Structure 1
Amino acid sequence: MGFLAFGINHKTAAVEVRERVAFAPDQLADALQQLREDTLTQEVAILSTCNRTEIYLSQDHPNPDAVVEWVARFHGMTVEELARCSYLHRDAGAVRHMMRVAAGLDSMVLGEPQILGQMKDAWQSARTAGTLGPYLDRLFQSTFNTAKQVRTDTAIGENPVSVAFAAVSLARQIFSDLRRSTALLIGAGETIALVARHLYEQGVQKIIVANRTLERAELLSEPLGGQAILLNQIPDVLAQCDIIISSTASPLPILGKGAVERALKARKRSPMFMVDIAVPRDIEPEVGGLRDVYLYSVDDLHEVIEENLRSRQGAAEAAERLIDLGTDEFMQRLRALAAVDVLRRYRQKAEHLRDQELAKAQARLERGTDPQLVLAEMARSLTNKLLHDPSVQLKQMSAEGRAEALTLAQELFALDEDTHSVQGKS
């Protein structure tokens, strides 16, 4: 069984490309089914976040070209466009890559914890869609276990920094005193929840949460003493807001240039700080060209994040060693499973031959044949049939000059010197 990991991320593609290749949550189930059918893949899962889109699959003989062609076709891109900014990992390389991703070692923010939850969401989506399968499921479980060990045994997660933390850090550079600022948070997912907590800890006293459903917005805003609104109410409050941070799964922009222009006019040119963490983007890129607007995308947070990562480098080295161990252990278990499958099929074949010879022996006994003769004939015939195919294959391989096959056969059948000497004495 082979594995394949194909994708793009923040290192290989700009946000403009990543948003084109992203899978919206309501697309995933159909996409998984289409991918499996169109590429004849046995098991497949899709991970899609603001920083990466990756496809993991398990197949006897993976065909990466078919996967690339399908992704390009699904998102209306050319294969050449996709090939320029994508990467591909096979077998042990795919296993190692998945473990590094889950542990946060391949993230924009080294060691960030949210990616493990997103990886579990990808596993659950594939499971719900019926595209998971036993081999890919085993790989996900080993990936989760290794990521957990990295979190437990290294300092990779200490003093956590995240995209959310970086966004708030950047806001502090724009506004000297965040306590006098009003923040509008668009969305109510995990990233926005982290942003809200960081802003609250920095003393921001007025936090407005806008979401598609009011219940989710209230769940996030109430503990912080904030206000919950619906997305269509954003224009009503926009002029009050100094900080706007957005992270939704909307396929289309939520905040346009016209709405921001009207808010700026009402604010009498007082500056607005905006961070668009979403992929696809929630805020029209043209907003960044407006005077008195400081608009940052998720890619613009790199420098802020880098400043907070240097203390984690030693922990990252220890984490990489755990990833290597996790990869080796999984591949060993996979090879053992392959042996179990071969043994199972050979046992079935042997049991079939046994049943045939037993039926013949019972028929001869019913006809009154001497039991001693029946037993001897059954033993001789069963031995010959069990040895026939291995004997034919060994002779053929020997004739082809494949000397290693004879060595392997001696190991397989435990034909050491003691065996020869015992046979000689008998």
Structure 2
Amino acid sequence: MALLALGINHKTAPVEIRERVSFAPEKLVDAVQQACQAAGLEEAAILSTCNRTELYCSLKEEESKRLLGWLAQYHGLDVGQLESCIYEHWDLGAARHMMRVASGLDSLVLGEPQILGQLKSAFSVSQDAGKAHSELGRLFRQTFSVAKQVRTETSIGQNPVSVAYAAVSLAQHIFADLRDSHALLIGAGETIELVARHLKQAGVKSITIANRTLSRALALADEVNGKAIEFSDIPQALPNADILISSTASQLPILGKGSVESALKKRRHRPMFMVDIAVPRDIETEVGELEDVYLYTVDDLTEVIEENQRSRMDAAAEAEELIEAGAEAFMRQLRELEAVDSLTALRNQYQSLANDELEKALHQLALGKPADELLKRLANNLTNKFLHEPSVQMRRASAEGRQDLQDAAQELFQLNSLSKD
């Protein structure tokens, strides 16, 4: 049996394929069980995100086609549609791949932390399905351990590499404590959603969402315990905003110099931090000329992101070394465990031979035979019984020129060291 990581991701498949191969969260337990039944697997797990779908399992290499066939059939695809974008990683490669995924080294955004939680969820689902034990269970636990080591011993996740995170990071440099700050967010698209979540995690005091469509603003405000307003209410909300971040699709500026000047007067010139993420810009460039206003554009954030991306690349090289060591350590442990069954069988066989000889000796002792004579015979018989089959096999190996077995016997039983003694 071999370990396999099989899947597609943002590097190998377009979104049109990825969305068709994704699994609904509520169907994952059933899907894991179906995969095991279709491909004859004892263990399996499925990771399904917007950027990747991967199956982890233990099976014979020739059976991987059955697993790929099941994946295609489950999603109503021809196998040919998947073969061009599927990848397979085996044994050490599978362990290395899982650890890279968990550490964010295989992500669209290098070092992003969400994927580790998604992998933990995949493991939990597999456990719920009764399909994560022995080898796969050990691999997941080792993967989580290595990912934690990467997070704590490198700076892979310390610097922001998304526009939303970079905007909030800049705010934290301007304000010593965001818990005393009020934020006004203009727009309700994906970027503003991420900004709102980052601000909430940073502990900002209050968040107001302004959007042209109030229902969208309300939905996001509910998520972050904020307040929703319409665009027409922005002038009234502006004087209370310590942080203003805007990202809309408007073709004309939403915020002009005059309205900001008016807000600053009401604020008694307490500083305002503004980030204009929109293209075209939402905030007139003249606003940046005002004292007490710190205005950043998307280009300013890009510089921050690129610098942080370079920093993460350096950290990624350190992470790769930790992952390689972790993957090799896991495979070494796995190989050690493979010897357990053989050692158990060997011990049982020799114990059975010993028990037989002991029973004979005790019977002779009960008949009055001298104990010292019986002990010598017992030791001699045990030696002969223990060495009979190995002796036969070693003579046969020698006759056949199997020097490898001769060398293995020397190493297993440390015969060289005994002869030197």
Q: Is the 8 A contact 1:150 1:322 kept in 2?
A: yes
Cα distance between partner residues in 1 of 2:31 and 2:163: 28
Amino acid at match of 1:419: L
Cα distance between partner residues in 2 of 1:373 and 1:404: 40
1:318 is displaced (CA, Å) by 1.2
Per the alignment, residue 225 of structure 1 pairs with 227
- Match runs of 1:245-284 below 5 Å: none
Q: Kindly, what percent of the aligned residue pairs are identical?
A: 49
Amino acid at match of 1:225: K
- Match runs of 1:18-33 below 5 Å: 18-33=18-33
Provide, for residues 132-164 of structure 1, a one-character-per-residue CA deviation record: whole Å limited to 9, x for no partner.
012211111111111111111111111233597
- Match runs of 1:283-298 below 5 Å: none
User: Is 1:183 equivalent to 2:183 in the alignment?
Assistant: no
**Which runs of at least 4 in structure 1 moved beyond 6 Å after TM superposition?**
166-169, 199-204, 207-211, 216-219
Cα distance between partner residues in 2 of 1:37 and 1:352: 39
User: Is 1:371 equivalent to 2:376 in the alignment?
Assistant: no
User: Is 1:140 equivalent to 2:131 in the alignment?
Assistant: no
Q: Is the 8 A contact 2:207 2:227 kept in 1?
A: no
Per the alignment, residue 323 of structure 1 pairs with 323
- Match runs of 1:351-362 below 5 Å: 351-362=351-362
Cα distance between partner residues in 1 of 2:58 and 2:122: 15
Q: Is the 8 A contact 1:364 1:374 kept in 2?
A: yes
Per the alignment, residue 266 of structure 1 pairs with none
Change (3 A) 1:64 1:314: same
Q: Is the 8 A contact 1:184 1:207 kept in 2?
A: no
Q: Is the 8 A contact 1:111 1:160 kept in 2?
A: no
Change (3 A) 1:320 1:346: same
1:124 is displaced (CA, Å) by 0.9
Change (3 A) 1:192 1:89: farther
Q: Is the 8 A contact 1:41 1:62 kept in 2?
A: no
Amino acid at match of 2:209: K
Q: Is the 8 A contact 1:112 1:162 kept in 2?
A: no
Provide, for residues 93-113 of structure 1, a one-character-per-residue CA deviation record: whole Å limited to 9, x for no partner.
111001100000000000000
Q: Is the 8 A contact 1:21 1:53 kept in 2?
A: yes
TM-score of the aligned structures, taking structure 1 as reference length: 0.69
Amino acid at match of 1:58: S
Q: Is the 8 A contact 1:13 1:85 kept in 2?
A: yes
Q: Is the 8 A contact 1:10 1:108 kept in 2?
A: yes
1:61 is displaced (CA, Å) by 6.0
Q: RMSD of aligned C-alpha atoms?
A: 3.7
User: Is 1:156 equivalent to 2:159 in the alignment?
Assistant: no
1:123 is displaced (CA, Å) by 1.0
TM-score of the aligned structures, taking structure 2 as reference length: 0.69
Cα distance between partner residues in 2 of 1:111 and 1:104: 4
Structure number with larger C-alpha Rg: 2
Per the alignment, residue 418 of structure 2 pairs with 419
Question: Which SS does the other structure have where 1:63 is aligned?
Answer: helix
Cα distance between partner residues in 1 of 2:11 and 2:76: 22
Question: Which SS does the other structure have where 1:12 is aligned?
Answer: coil
Cα distance between partner residues in 2 of 1:163 and 1:350: 67
What stretches of structure 1 of length at least 5 have no aligned partner? 170-177, 186-190, 228-236, 241-268, 272-303
Per the alignment, residue 255 of structure 2 pairs with none
1:199 is displaced (CA, Å) by 7.3
- Match runs of 1:54-93 below 5 Å: 54-59=54-59, 63-93=63-93
Change (3 A) 1:81 1:106: same
1:17 is displaced (CA, Å) by 0.4
**Deviating more after overlay: 113-122 vs 363-372:** 363-372
Provide, for residues 222-255 of structure 1, a one-character-per-residue CA deviation record: whole Å limited to 9, x for no partner.
2x3359xxxxxxxxx9xx9xxxxxxxxxxxxxxx
Per the alignment, residue 268 of structure 2 pairs with none
Change (3 A) 1:80 1:388: farther
Q: Is the 8 A contact 1:2 1:58 kept in 2?
A: yes
Question: Which SS does the other structure have where 1:205 is aligned?
Answer: strand
Change (3 A) 1:421 1:101: closer
Per the alignment, residue 399 of structure 2 pairs with 399
Question: Which SS does the other structure have where 1:45 is aligned?
Answer: strand
